[in-house]
Structure 1
């Protein structure tokens, strides 16, 4: 099933990103707490900067853990052409010129791209500008999106 494949691709990507983020957070924490990071004078900000970096990296780890849990704890949902777009929908949009775009509405991990049947799929969330325009729409509905700085009409031609 394609939805299972999508689900597993996203989970694998999040696991990889989490491993990298955890390593970065550990390295940043070690740097921030190292004895050489203690300020030697009031203008020495290396330790302070390292602590900000460590905090930011730790925040990224928490975000990735939450994103990963949201995919692992929710099975993929199948949609039909009679359903409305919601979280876990794979949406195929067609522009007036016949070109197609595929979007996956995920609970998290917006911006991640992957190939499905040799076509690029972009993960968006319901809170993104595109996601907000798509939520509740059905096959046959037209949405206006900004593409390359211009407004373009796209018809929802498939929902999985």
Structure 2
């Protein structure tokens, strides 16, 4: 599988999230500064709540911009089944119809029409698979039997 296609899909997904977050931040900022948001009593907190929302959206926007910049410079290497899993690896597990793409600038995005899930090395699965090789097993949450890593690309 061509990893540059996966990276480009991630870039497109993050760009869409970035635009939606920017729109939400601007809407929250407008609500916070609107004359209708001026509190009439000490219990009227509409403007305050909108300002907190705008602050949260601005932090999310900064995070997405950082991920997008990192992703644009990310060039995943090719792995063999003998290589230890690290950032850039594409992992296949026995009896699972989905592959996992370990990317430091992702957070659970679904790619390739559901055939690939981009996960961060800091995610629960991402942290567990780093350092493993093909043939090793991993126990997924809510599954009784461990799954064997059948291929690392």
Instruction: Map 1:38-49 to 2 at 5 A.
Output: 38-49=38-49
Alignment correspondent of 2:147: 154
Bigger fraction of residues in strand: 1
Gaps of 5+ in 2: none
| C-alpha distance after superposition, 1:24-53 (max 9, x if no partner) | 111111111122211111111100111111
The secondary structure found in structure 2 opposite 1:130 is helix
Deviating beyond 2 angstroms after TM superposition, the runs of 4 or more aligned structure 1 residues are: 98-101, 149-152
TM-score (norm 1): 0.89
Deviation per CA, 1:101-152: give whole Å up to 9, x if none. 311111022111112xx65211111111111110001111111111xx2333
In the alignment, which of 134, 138, 156 is matched to residue 133 of structure 2? 138
Does the CA-based 8 Å contact 2:76-2:87 persist in structure 1? no
Map 1:104-143 onto structure 2 (within 5 A).
104-115=101-112, 120-143=115-138
> CA separation in 2, counterparts of 1:100 and 1:17?
26
RMSD, aligned α-carbons: 1.5
- The TM-score with structure 2 as length reference comes to 0.93
